[in-house]
Chains A and B, each alone.
Chain A
Amino acid sequence: MGKAPLVCRLAGDTGLIVEFGEGIDPVVNARVRAVAAAVKTRSPRGIIEIIPTYRSLLLIYDPLITLPEKLIRFIEQADSGLGDEDAGPFRRVDIPVCYGGEFGPDMDTVAKTAGLGIEEVIQRHSAPDYLIYMVGFTPGFPFLGGLDERLFTPRLKTPRMAVPRGSVGIANNQTGIYPITSPGGWQIIGRTPLTLFAPFRENPFLYQAGDRIRFIPISPEEYTAIKEKEDRS
Protein backbone atom coordinates (compact mmCIF):
# COMPACT_ATOMS: atom_id res chain seq x y z
CA MET A 1 0.00 0.00 0.00
CA GLY A 2 1.47 3.38 -0.98
CA LYS A 3 1.76 6.38 1.24
CA ALA A 4 -0.88 9.09 1.03
CA PRO A 5 0.41 12.38 -0.50
CA LEU A 6 1.34 15.11 1.98
CA VAL A 7 -1.11 17.95 2.55
CA CYS A 8 0.37 21.23 3.79
CA ARG A 9 -1.62 23.89 5.61
CA LEU A 10 -0.50 27.31 6.83
CA ALA A 11 -0.99 27.91 10.56
CA GLY A 12 -0.32 31.64 10.55
CA ASP A 13 2.98 33.28 9.61
CA THR A 14 5.17 31.05 11.81
CA GLY A 15 3.43 27.65 11.68
CA LEU A 16 3.20 24.92 9.04
CA ILE A 17 0.99 21.84 9.36
CA VAL A 18 1.93 18.80 7.29
CA GLU A 19 -0.75 16.09 7.14
CA PHE A 20 0.22 12.48 6.43
CA GLY A 21 -3.24 10.97 6.17
CA GLU A 22 -6.86 11.08 7.28
CA GLY A 23 -8.39 10.23 10.63
CA ILE A 24 -6.97 8.20 13.48
CA ASP A 25 -4.79 5.38 12.18
CA PRO A 26 -1.77 3.73 13.87
CA VAL A 27 0.13 3.45 10.56
CA VAL A 28 -0.30 7.14 9.74
CA ASN A 29 0.61 8.03 13.33
CA ALA A 30 3.81 5.94 13.15
CA ARG A 31 4.77 7.79 9.95
CA VAL A 32 4.21 11.13 11.71
CA ARG A 33 6.46 10.11 14.59
CA ALA A 34 9.15 8.73 12.28
CA VAL A 35 9.30 12.00 10.34
CA ALA A 36 9.28 14.02 13.59
CA ALA A 37 12.24 12.00 14.85
CA ALA A 38 14.09 12.49 11.55
CA VAL A 39 13.49 16.25 11.59
CA LYS A 40 14.65 16.45 15.21
CA THR A 41 17.86 14.55 14.41
CA ARG A 42 18.75 16.74 11.44
CA SER A 43 17.44 19.92 13.13
CA PRO A 44 17.25 22.22 10.10
CA ARG A 45 17.89 25.90 10.79
CA GLY A 46 14.97 28.06 11.82
CA ILE A 47 12.75 25.37 13.39
CA ILE A 48 11.53 26.38 16.84
CA GLU A 49 9.22 23.47 17.67
CA ILE A 50 8.18 20.14 16.15
CA ILE A 51 4.80 18.92 17.40
CA PRO A 52 3.60 15.48 16.28
CA THR A 53 -0.17 14.93 16.37
CA TYR A 54 -2.58 12.14 15.38
CA ARG A 55 -1.93 12.46 11.68
CA SER A 56 0.10 15.63 11.18
CA LEU A 57 3.17 17.56 12.22
CA LEU A 58 3.05 21.18 13.28
CA LEU A 59 6.34 22.93 12.62
CA ILE A 60 6.87 26.31 14.26
CA TYR A 61 9.53 28.26 12.40
CA ASP A 62 11.32 31.58 12.40
CA PRO A 63 10.41 33.24 9.07
CA LEU A 64 13.54 35.40 9.25
CA ILE A 65 15.60 32.21 8.92
CA THR A 66 13.52 29.74 6.88
CA LEU A 67 10.33 29.50 4.82
CA PRO A 68 7.52 26.93 4.40
CA GLU A 69 8.71 25.93 0.88
CA LYS A 70 12.08 24.91 2.31
CA LEU A 71 10.48 23.03 5.19
CA ILE A 72 8.10 21.16 2.89
CA ARG A 73 11.02 19.98 0.72
CA PHE A 74 12.85 18.91 3.85
CA ILE A 75 9.84 16.95 5.16
CA GLU A 76 9.29 15.26 1.79
CA GLN A 77 12.91 14.11 1.77
CA ALA A 78 12.75 12.88 5.35
CA ASP A 79 9.47 11.06 4.65
CA SER A 80 10.54 9.35 1.42
CA GLY A 81 13.44 7.57 3.08
CA LEU A 82 11.44 6.16 5.97
CA GLY A 83 9.45 3.05 6.77
CA ASP A 84 6.97 2.70 9.61
CA GLU A 85 9.54 0.83 11.67
CA ASP A 86 11.52 4.09 11.95
CA ALA A 87 9.09 5.51 14.50
CA GLY A 88 11.70 4.44 17.04
CA PRO A 89 11.65 2.42 20.24
CA PHE A 90 8.77 2.81 22.66
CA ARG A 91 8.15 2.11 26.30
CA ARG A 92 5.31 0.29 28.02
CA VAL A 93 4.04 2.24 30.99
CA ASP A 94 1.75 0.72 33.62
CA ILE A 95 -0.78 3.14 35.09
CA PRO A 96 -2.54 1.88 38.25
CA VAL A 97 -6.21 2.95 38.31
CA CYS A 98 -8.83 2.73 41.04
CA TYR A 99 -12.04 2.31 39.03
CA GLY A 100 -15.55 3.42 39.95
CA GLY A 101 -16.81 4.74 43.29
CA GLU A 102 -15.90 8.32 44.20
CA PHE A 103 -13.04 8.26 41.66
CA GLY A 104 -15.28 7.29 38.74
CA PRO A 105 -18.49 9.35 38.89
CA ASP A 106 -19.47 8.36 35.32
CA MET A 107 -18.82 4.62 35.67
CA ASP A 108 -22.55 3.90 35.87
CA THR A 109 -23.22 5.87 32.67
CA VAL A 110 -20.47 4.04 30.79
CA ALA A 111 -21.65 0.63 32.09
CA LYS A 112 -25.25 1.40 31.21
CA THR A 113 -24.37 2.69 27.71
CA ALA A 114 -22.32 -0.46 27.09
CA GLY A 115 -24.94 -2.75 28.63
CA LEU A 116 -22.21 -4.29 30.77
CA GLY A 117 -21.57 -4.79 34.47
CA ILE A 118 -18.99 -2.57 36.16
CA GLU A 119 -16.56 -5.47 36.57
CA GLU A 120 -16.65 -6.15 32.86
CA VAL A 121 -16.12 -2.46 32.02
CA ILE A 122 -13.00 -2.54 34.21
CA GLN A 123 -11.83 -5.77 32.63
CA ARG A 124 -12.31 -4.45 29.09
CA HIS A 125 -10.77 -1.02 29.81
CA SER A 126 -7.66 -2.53 31.42
CA ALA A 127 -7.10 -5.23 28.78
CA PRO A 128 -5.49 -3.39 25.80
CA ASP A 129 -2.05 -1.91 25.27
CA TYR A 130 -3.08 1.60 24.29
CA LEU A 131 -1.00 3.54 21.77
CA ILE A 132 -0.34 7.18 22.78
CA TYR A 133 -1.17 8.95 19.53
CA MET A 134 -0.51 12.43 20.84
CA VAL A 135 0.12 14.36 24.05
CA GLY A 136 -1.51 17.75 24.54
CA PHE A 137 -4.48 19.78 25.80
CA THR A 138 -2.85 19.93 29.25
CA PRO A 139 0.70 18.92 30.31
CA GLY A 140 1.00 15.17 29.77
CA PHE A 141 -2.60 14.49 28.66
CA PRO A 142 -2.32 11.29 26.54
CA PHE A 143 -4.73 10.78 23.65
CA LEU A 144 -5.04 6.98 23.53
CA GLY A 145 -6.30 4.77 20.73
CA GLY A 146 -7.47 1.18 20.92
CA LEU A 147 -10.46 1.46 23.22
CA ASP A 148 -12.85 -1.55 23.26
CA GLU A 149 -15.77 -0.62 20.97
CA ARG A 150 -18.30 -1.67 23.59
CA LEU A 151 -17.01 1.16 25.84
CA PHE A 152 -17.50 4.00 23.32
CA THR A 153 -19.48 6.68 25.21
CA PRO A 154 -20.23 10.24 24.08
CA ARG A 155 -18.83 13.23 25.99
CA LEU A 156 -20.83 14.81 28.82
CA LYS A 157 -23.47 17.27 27.54
CA THR A 158 -22.10 19.93 29.88
CA PRO A 159 -18.35 19.77 30.60
CA ARG A 160 -17.22 19.90 34.24
CA MET A 161 -15.45 23.04 35.42
CA ALA A 162 -12.83 20.98 37.27
CA VAL A 163 -11.94 17.35 36.62
CA PRO A 164 -9.56 16.18 39.41
CA ARG A 165 -6.00 15.36 38.37
CA GLY A 166 -5.41 11.66 37.72
CA SER A 167 -8.96 11.13 36.40
CA VAL A 168 -9.28 8.48 33.67
CA GLY A 169 -11.98 9.20 31.11
CA ILE A 170 -13.69 8.16 27.90
CA ALA A 171 -14.85 10.39 25.03
CA ASN A 172 -16.40 8.47 22.12
CA ASN A 173 -13.65 6.17 20.79
CA GLN A 174 -10.88 7.77 22.85
CA THR A 175 -9.64 7.24 26.37
CA GLY A 176 -7.18 9.40 28.31
CA ILE A 177 -5.98 10.69 31.67
CA TYR A 178 -6.18 14.24 33.12
CA PRO A 179 -2.66 14.93 34.52
CA ILE A 180 -3.68 18.23 36.13
CA THR A 181 -7.03 19.42 37.45
CA SER A 182 -8.69 21.14 34.50
CA PRO A 183 -12.09 21.66 32.87
CA GLY A 184 -13.22 18.67 30.83
CA GLY A 185 -16.14 16.83 29.25
CA TRP A 186 -14.94 13.21 29.25
CA GLN A 187 -16.83 10.44 31.12
CA ILE A 188 -14.74 9.75 34.22
CA ILE A 189 -14.47 6.08 35.24
CA GLY A 190 -11.50 6.00 37.63
CA ARG A 191 -8.40 7.74 38.93
CA THR A 192 -4.67 7.03 39.06
CA PRO A 193 -2.64 7.95 42.16
CA LEU A 194 0.46 8.59 39.99
CA THR A 195 1.77 12.12 39.47
CA LEU A 196 1.73 12.37 35.69
CA PHE A 197 3.14 15.89 35.47
CA ALA A 198 5.90 16.82 37.92
CA PRO A 199 7.60 19.98 36.62
CA PHE A 200 10.48 19.72 39.08
CA ARG A 201 11.15 16.01 38.52
CA GLU A 202 14.17 15.34 36.30
CA ASN A 203 11.80 13.86 33.76
CA PRO A 204 8.49 15.71 34.29
CA PHE A 205 6.54 13.11 32.27
CA LEU A 206 6.22 9.31 32.51
CA TYR A 207 5.59 8.77 28.78
CA GLN A 208 5.57 10.39 25.36
CA ALA A 209 3.72 10.00 22.06
CA GLY A 210 4.38 6.55 20.62
CA ASP A 211 4.66 4.82 24.01
CA ARG A 212 2.07 2.23 25.13
CA ILE A 213 -0.03 2.52 28.25
CA ARG A 214 -1.71 -0.28 30.16
CA PHE A 215 -4.15 0.37 32.99
CA ILE A 216 -3.76 -1.86 36.08
CA PRO A 217 -6.90 -2.03 38.28
CA ILE A 218 -6.16 -1.35 41.96
CA SER A 219 -8.23 -1.20 45.17
CA PRO A 220 -8.95 2.01 47.12
CA GLU A 221 -6.39 0.82 49.74
CA GLU A 222 -3.70 0.40 47.10
CA TYR A 223 -4.66 3.82 45.69
CA THR A 224 -4.10 5.45 49.09
CA ALA A 225 -0.77 3.67 49.60
CA ILE A 226 0.62 4.66 46.18
CA LYS A 227 -0.72 8.19 46.50
CA GLU A 228 1.03 8.70 49.87
CA LYS A 229 4.29 7.47 48.39
CA GLU A 230 3.90 9.77 45.35
CA ASP A 231 3.13 12.81 47.48
CA ARG A 232 6.23 12.19 49.61
CA SER A 233 8.63 12.03 46.64
Chain B
Amino acid sequence: MTALRIISPGGYTTIQDKGRFGFQHVGIPVSGVLDAFAFTLANFLAGNPGNTPVMEITVMGPSLEIRKEMDMALTGAQMGISVNGVPMDQWASIRVKPGDLVTIGQVRAGCRAYLAFGGGIRVPEIMGSFSTYVGGKIGGFKGRPLQKEDLLETGDSPLLTRPRAVPPSLVPVYSSEPVLRAIPGPQADYFDTGLNTLFQSEYTVTVKADRMGYRLQGEPIPIKSGMPKSIVSEPSMPGGIQIPADEQPIILLVEQTVGGYAKIATVISSDLPLVAQTTPGDTLRFESVDLATAHGLIRERQNQIKAVKEMIEAL
Protein backbone atom coordinates (compact mmCIF):
# COMPACT_ATOMS: atom_id res chain seq x y z
CA MET B 1 0.00 0.00 0.00
CA THR B 2 1.33 3.42 -0.91
CA ALA B 3 2.21 5.39 2.22
CA LEU B 4 3.25 8.65 0.61
CA ARG B 5 3.52 10.53 -2.65
CA ILE B 6 6.36 12.94 -3.45
CA ILE B 7 4.87 16.28 -4.47
CA SER B 8 8.30 17.86 -4.73
CA PRO B 9 11.56 16.06 -3.85
CA GLY B 10 13.51 18.98 -2.32
CA GLY B 11 17.19 19.70 -3.02
CA TYR B 12 18.61 16.19 -3.00
CA THR B 13 16.73 13.49 -1.14
CA THR B 14 17.86 9.86 -1.03
CA ILE B 15 16.92 6.76 0.98
CA GLN B 16 19.74 5.72 3.32
CA ASP B 17 20.47 3.40 6.22
CA LYS B 18 23.77 2.90 8.07
CA GLY B 19 25.46 1.72 4.90
CA ARG B 20 26.47 -1.24 2.77
CA PHE B 21 29.33 -3.09 4.45
CA GLY B 22 31.45 -5.92 3.12
CA PHE B 23 31.71 -4.99 -0.56
CA GLN B 24 34.43 -2.38 -0.75
CA HIS B 25 36.82 -5.07 -2.00
CA VAL B 26 34.72 -5.20 -5.18
CA GLY B 27 34.42 -1.42 -5.47
CA ILE B 28 31.07 -0.79 -3.75
CA PRO B 29 31.34 2.20 -1.40
CA VAL B 30 29.55 2.07 1.98
CA SER B 31 27.12 4.89 1.16
CA GLY B 32 24.67 5.33 4.06
CA VAL B 33 23.75 8.35 6.18
CA LEU B 34 26.34 11.07 6.70
CA ASP B 35 25.03 12.08 10.13
CA ALA B 36 24.65 8.83 12.05
CA PHE B 37 23.59 10.57 15.28
CA ALA B 38 20.61 12.41 13.75
CA PHE B 39 19.70 9.25 11.80
CA THR B 40 19.64 7.03 14.90
CA LEU B 41 17.41 9.44 16.81
CA ALA B 42 15.02 9.95 13.86
CA ASN B 43 14.34 6.22 13.85
CA PHE B 44 13.99 6.04 17.60
CA LEU B 45 11.47 8.91 17.62
CA ALA B 46 9.42 7.18 14.89
CA GLY B 47 9.44 3.92 16.86
CA ASN B 48 11.83 2.05 14.55
CA PRO B 49 14.75 -0.28 15.24
CA GLY B 50 18.20 1.27 14.84
CA ASN B 51 19.07 0.57 11.20
CA THR B 52 15.80 1.36 9.40
CA PRO B 53 15.97 3.24 6.05
CA VAL B 54 15.07 6.95 6.17
CA MET B 55 15.15 9.94 3.83
CA GLU B 56 18.36 11.98 3.88
CA ILE B 57 17.32 15.51 2.85
CA THR B 58 19.85 18.07 1.64
CA VAL B 59 19.50 21.87 1.98
CA MET B 60 15.87 22.10 0.73
CA GLY B 61 13.07 19.92 2.07
CA PRO B 62 10.49 17.90 0.12
CA SER B 63 6.67 18.14 0.11
CA LEU B 64 4.76 14.93 0.66
CA GLU B 65 1.16 13.75 0.49
CA ILE B 66 0.49 11.19 3.23
CA ARG B 67 -1.68 8.19 2.37
CA LYS B 68 -1.45 6.11 5.55
CA GLU B 69 -1.74 6.77 9.27
CA MET B 70 1.74 6.59 10.77
CA ASP B 71 4.31 8.25 13.01
CA MET B 72 7.21 10.19 11.56
CA ALA B 73 10.10 12.31 12.85
CA LEU B 74 12.50 14.86 11.38
CA THR B 75 15.96 15.34 12.91
CA GLY B 76 19.27 16.82 11.76
CA ALA B 77 19.48 20.19 10.02
CA GLN B 78 16.97 22.82 11.07
CA MET B 79 14.57 23.12 8.13
CA GLY B 80 11.14 23.59 9.66
CA ILE B 81 8.30 21.14 9.09
CA SER B 82 4.57 21.72 8.82
CA VAL B 83 1.54 19.45 8.47
CA ASN B 84 -1.36 21.05 6.57
CA GLY B 85 0.33 24.40 7.13
CA VAL B 86 0.64 23.97 10.91
CA PRO B 87 4.28 24.16 12.11
CA MET B 88 5.46 21.08 14.02
CA ASP B 89 8.55 20.34 16.11
CA GLN B 90 11.67 18.67 14.77
CA TRP B 91 13.33 16.04 17.00
CA ALA B 92 9.84 14.84 17.98
CA SER B 93 7.37 12.24 16.73
CA ILE B 94 4.56 13.52 14.51
CA ARG B 95 1.34 11.54 13.91
CA VAL B 96 0.07 11.92 10.32
CA LYS B 97 -3.01 10.50 8.56
CA PRO B 98 -4.19 9.98 4.98
CA GLY B 99 -4.61 13.26 3.11
CA ASP B 100 -2.14 15.22 5.24
CA LEU B 101 0.25 17.50 3.41
CA VAL B 102 3.76 17.57 4.90
CA THR B 103 6.06 20.43 3.90
CA ILE B 104 9.71 20.69 4.90
CA GLY B 105 11.37 24.06 4.27
CA GLN B 106 14.74 25.56 3.40
CA VAL B 107 17.68 24.88 5.66
CA ARG B 108 18.32 27.48 8.42
CA ALA B 109 21.14 25.71 10.28
CA GLY B 110 23.07 22.62 9.25
CA CYS B 111 22.77 20.94 5.84
CA ARG B 112 21.17 17.48 6.07
CA ALA B 113 17.94 16.43 7.75
CA TYR B 114 16.67 12.90 8.40
CA LEU B 115 13.01 11.94 7.99
CA ALA B 116 11.99 8.60 9.47
CA PHE B 117 8.59 6.90 9.11
CA GLY B 118 7.22 4.27 11.52
CA GLY B 119 7.81 0.88 9.91
CA GLY B 120 10.54 2.32 7.69
CA ILE B 121 10.53 3.15 4.00
CA ARG B 122 10.16 -0.06 2.01
CA VAL B 123 12.71 -0.49 -0.75
CA PRO B 124 14.52 -3.64 -1.97
CA GLU B 125 17.55 -4.74 0.01
CA ILE B 126 20.65 -4.91 -2.18
CA MET B 127 23.89 -6.45 -0.93
CA GLY B 128 22.77 -6.19 2.67
CA SER B 129 21.63 -2.56 2.67
CA PHE B 130 18.82 -0.23 1.65
CA SER B 131 21.17 2.71 1.04
CA THR B 132 21.19 4.54 -2.27
CA TYR B 133 24.54 4.52 -4.10
CA VAL B 134 23.73 7.03 -6.81
CA GLY B 135 27.00 6.54 -8.75
CA GLY B 136 26.33 2.81 -9.09
CA LYS B 137 22.57 3.32 -9.61
CA ILE B 138 21.73 0.80 -6.89
CA GLY B 139 19.84 0.73 -3.61
CA GLY B 140 17.24 3.07 -2.17
CA PHE B 141 14.40 3.99 -4.53
CA LYS B 142 15.41 2.79 -8.02
CA GLY B 143 19.05 3.65 -7.32
CA ARG B 144 18.45 7.39 -7.59
CA PRO B 145 17.41 10.49 -5.62
CA LEU B 146 13.64 10.87 -5.15
CA GLN B 147 11.64 12.61 -7.87
CA LYS B 148 8.26 14.27 -8.17
CA GLU B 149 5.36 11.76 -8.22
CA ASP B 150 7.38 8.88 -6.76
CA LEU B 151 5.11 6.66 -4.64
CA LEU B 152 6.73 5.09 -1.57
CA GLU B 153 5.63 2.30 0.70
CA THR B 154 6.38 1.90 4.39
CA GLY B 155 6.51 -1.20 6.57
CA ASP B 156 3.76 -2.15 9.00
CA SER B 157 4.47 -1.05 12.51
CA PRO B 158 2.26 -0.36 15.53
CA LEU B 159 1.63 3.33 16.22
CA LEU B 160 3.41 4.85 19.19
CA THR B 161 1.42 4.65 22.42
CA ARG B 162 2.88 8.01 23.53
CA PRO B 163 4.57 10.76 21.54
CA ARG B 164 8.38 10.90 21.73
CA ALA B 165 10.63 13.98 21.77
CA VAL B 166 14.32 14.71 22.35
CA PRO B 167 14.66 17.19 25.25
CA PRO B 168 15.67 20.60 23.77
CA SER B 169 18.90 20.67 25.78
CA LEU B 170 20.07 17.56 23.92
CA VAL B 171 19.28 18.76 20.39
CA PRO B 172 22.59 19.43 18.59
CA VAL B 173 23.34 22.99 17.54
CA TYR B 174 25.05 22.99 14.13
CA SER B 175 27.88 25.42 13.67
CA SER B 176 28.88 27.02 10.38
CA GLU B 177 32.44 27.11 11.70
CA PRO B 178 32.98 23.77 13.44
CA VAL B 179 36.29 22.48 14.80
CA LEU B 180 36.86 18.95 13.54
CA ARG B 181 39.02 16.59 15.52
CA ALA B 182 41.33 14.49 13.37
CA ILE B 183 44.06 11.92 13.88
CA PRO B 184 47.21 11.99 11.73
CA GLY B 185 46.51 10.15 8.48
CA PRO B 186 47.91 7.04 6.86
CA GLN B 187 50.39 9.18 4.89
CA ALA B 188 51.10 11.80 7.57
CA ASP B 189 54.81 11.02 6.91
CA TYR B 190 54.43 12.59 3.43
CA PHE B 191 54.12 16.01 5.10
CA ASP B 192 56.20 18.19 7.39
CA THR B 193 55.11 21.85 7.59
CA GLY B 194 51.84 20.78 5.94
CA LEU B 195 50.65 19.23 9.20
CA ASN B 196 51.09 22.55 11.02
CA THR B 197 49.33 24.32 8.17
CA LEU B 198 46.35 21.95 8.37
CA PHE B 199 45.95 22.26 12.14
CA GLN B 200 46.51 26.04 12.30
CA SER B 201 44.55 27.37 9.32
CA GLU B 202 40.93 27.90 8.43
CA TYR B 203 39.42 26.15 5.38
CA THR B 204 36.30 27.13 3.48
CA VAL B 205 33.81 24.56 2.15
CA THR B 206 33.56 25.00 -1.65
CA VAL B 207 30.52 24.28 -3.83
CA LYS B 208 32.10 20.94 -4.68
CA ALA B 209 30.74 19.29 -1.55
CA ASP B 210 28.65 16.16 -1.84
CA ARG B 211 28.40 12.60 -0.54
CA MET B 212 31.63 11.65 -2.32
CA GLY B 213 33.65 14.35 -0.62
CA TYR B 214 34.03 17.97 0.48
CA ARG B 215 36.57 20.05 -1.43
CA LEU B 216 38.01 22.78 0.77
CA GLN B 217 39.89 25.96 0.00
CA GLY B 218 42.54 27.70 2.05
CA GLU B 219 46.25 27.69 2.79
CA PRO B 220 47.91 25.19 0.38
CA ILE B 221 49.32 22.03 1.94
CA PRO B 222 52.49 20.95 0.13
CA ILE B 223 53.86 17.41 0.25
CA LYS B 224 57.37 17.49 1.72
CA SER B 225 60.13 17.66 -0.84
CA GLY B 226 61.44 14.35 -2.12
CA MET B 227 58.14 12.51 -1.55
CA PRO B 228 56.09 11.29 -4.54
CA LYS B 229 53.03 13.38 -5.40
CA SER B 230 50.78 10.33 -5.47
CA ILE B 231 50.63 6.93 -3.78
CA VAL B 232 49.88 3.42 -5.03
CA SER B 233 46.06 3.47 -5.17
CA GLU B 234 44.48 2.31 -1.92
CA PRO B 235 40.99 2.36 -0.38
CA SER B 236 39.89 5.43 1.53
CA MET B 237 37.90 5.77 4.74
CA PRO B 238 35.16 8.35 5.30
CA GLY B 239 36.83 11.36 6.94
CA GLY B 240 40.16 10.86 5.17
CA ILE B 241 41.70 14.24 4.24
CA GLN B 242 43.34 13.79 0.85
CA ILE B 243 45.83 16.25 -0.63
CA PRO B 244 45.71 16.23 -4.46
CA ALA B 245 48.12 17.96 -6.85
CA ASP B 246 46.56 21.41 -6.29
CA GLU B 247 47.44 21.14 -2.55
CA GLN B 248 43.86 21.95 -1.47
CA PRO B 249 42.38 19.37 0.94
CA ILE B 250 39.39 17.14 0.19
CA ILE B 251 37.51 15.39 3.02
CA LEU B 252 36.53 12.02 1.55
CA LEU B 253 33.06 10.77 2.45
CA VAL B 254 30.90 7.70 1.90
CA GLU B 255 30.57 7.31 -1.88
CA GLN B 256 34.27 6.86 -2.49
CA THR B 257 36.39 3.70 -2.52
CA VAL B 258 39.87 4.03 -4.03
CA GLY B 259 42.19 7.03 -4.20
CA GLY B 260 45.74 7.69 -5.30
CA TYR B 261 46.64 10.77 -3.26
CA ALA B 262 48.30 11.01 0.15
CA LYS B 263 45.97 11.46 3.12
CA ILE B 264 47.36 13.80 5.74
CA ALA B 265 44.78 13.16 8.48
CA THR B 266 41.42 11.52 9.15
CA VAL B 267 38.45 13.28 10.76
CA ILE B 268 37.32 11.11 13.69
CA SER B 269 34.04 9.17 13.31
CA SER B 270 32.29 11.16 16.04
CA ASP B 271 32.89 14.44 14.17
CA LEU B 272 31.76 13.27 10.70
CA PRO B 273 28.22 14.55 11.41
CA LEU B 274 29.71 18.04 11.87
CA VAL B 275 31.17 17.84 8.34
CA ALA B 276 27.84 16.61 6.97
CA GLN B 277 26.08 19.59 8.53
CA THR B 278 28.19 22.25 6.81
CA THR B 279 27.35 23.94 3.51
CA PRO B 280 29.48 25.81 0.93
CA GLY B 281 30.93 28.99 2.45
CA ASP B 282 31.17 27.55 5.97
CA THR B 283 34.63 27.45 7.54
CA LEU B 284 36.36 24.47 9.13
CA ARG B 285 39.25 24.15 11.54
CA PHE B 286 41.07 20.97 12.51
CA GLU B 287 42.36 19.88 15.89
CA SER B 288 44.79 16.98 16.28
CA VAL B 289 43.78 14.17 18.67
CA ASP B 290 45.22 10.71 19.24
CA LEU B 291 43.60 7.34 18.55
CA ALA B 292 42.75 6.60 22.19
CA THR B 293 40.88 9.93 22.46
CA ALA B 294 38.95 9.14 19.26
CA HIS B 295 37.98 5.71 20.58
CA GLY B 296 36.91 7.21 23.90
CA LEU B 297 34.64 9.62 22.03
CA ILE B 298 33.01 6.77 20.06
CA ARG B 299 32.18 5.06 23.35
CA GLU B 300 30.94 8.34 24.85
CA ARG B 301 28.69 8.96 21.84
CA GLN B 302 27.18 5.48 22.14
CA ASN B 303 26.44 6.02 25.82
CA GLN B 304 24.95 9.40 25.00
CA ILE B 305 22.52 7.89 22.46
CA LYS B 306 21.57 5.23 24.99
CA ALA B 307 20.98 7.87 27.67
CA VAL B 308 18.84 10.00 25.34
CA LYS B 309 16.69 6.98 24.45
CA GLU B 310 16.21 6.06 28.09
CA MET B 311 15.33 9.64 28.95
CA ILE B 312 12.73 9.82 26.15
CA GLU B 313 11.19 6.51 27.14
CA ALA B 314 10.94 7.68 30.75
CA LEU B 315 9.14 10.92 29.81
Q: Which A positions have Cβ atoms within 8 angstroms of B?
A: 9-15, 17, 23-24, 48-56, 58, 60, 63-64, 67-68, 134-141, 143, 179-180, 182, 197, 199-200, 204-205, 208-209
Contact = CB atoms under 8 A, between A and B. Distances in A.
B136 A12 contact: no
Nearest to A205: B26
Contact of B183 (A12, A64, A209): A12
Instruction: Kindly list the 4 A-B residue pairs having the minimum CB-CB distance in the complex, ordered from nearest.
Output: A12-B266, A13-B294, A136-B258, A9-B186
Interface string B200-243: 00000000000000000000000000000000111111111000
A53 B258 CA distance: 9
B244 interface: no
B233 A208 contact: no
B28 interface: yes
Given A9-B186, A10-B186, A138-B136, A23 B232 contact: yes
Interface of B: 21-28, 126-127, 135-138, 183-187, 232-240, 257-258, 263, 266-269, 291, 294-295, 298-299, 302
Nearest to A22: B232
Contacts of A138: 27, 135-136, 257
A155 to B, nearest CB: 11
A60 B28 CA distance: 15
Contact of B21 (A12, A49, A137, A205): A49
B294 A199 contact: no
A68 B291 contact: yes
A230 to B, nearest CB: 17
B233 A143 contact: yes
A12 B232 contact: no
B25 A209 contact: yes
A54 to B, nearest CB: 5
Contact of B232 (A24, A50, A137, A179): A24
B291 A49 contact: no
Given A10-B291, A11-B186, A199-B127, A54 B234 contact: yes
Contacts of A10: 183-186, 266, 291
Nearest to B294: A13
B234 A56 contact: yes
A14 B304 CA distance: 19
Given A12-B183, A49-B22, 19 more contacts: A9-B186, A11-B186, A12-B238, A12-B240, A12-B268, A12-B294, A23-B232, A48-B21, A49-B21, A49-B25, A51-B25, A52-B25, A53-B258, A58-B237, A136-B26, A139-B27, A140-B27, A197-B136, A208-B26
16 contacts: A13-B266, A13-B291, A13-B295, A49-B21, A49-B24, A53-B258, A56-B234, A58-B24, A63-B298, A64-B302, A136-B26, A136-B258, A138-B135, A180-B136, A199-B136, A208-B26
A21 to B, nearest CB: 10
- By secondary structure, the A interface counts as loop
Contacts of B23: 139
Contacts of A13: 183, 266, 268-269, 291, 294-295, 298
Contacts of B258: 53, 134, 136-137
Contacts of A50: 25
Contacts of B27: 135-141, 179
A31 B135 CA distance: 32
B187 to A, nearest CB: 7
B21 A9 contact: no
Contacts of A54: 232-234
B179 to A, nearest CB: 17
B91 to A, nearest CB: 26
A139 B257 CA distance: 9
B298 A64 contact: yes
Contacts of B291: 10, 13, 68
Which residue, B126, B184, B186, has most C-beta atoms of chain A within 10 A? Answer: B186
Given A54-B234, A135-B25, A137-B257, A17 B136 contact: no
B24 A136 contact: yes
B13 to A, nearest CB: 22
A60 B25 contact: no
Contact of B239 (A12, A23, A140, A197): A12
Contacts of A205: 26
A180 B24 contact: no
A199 B239 CA distance: 27
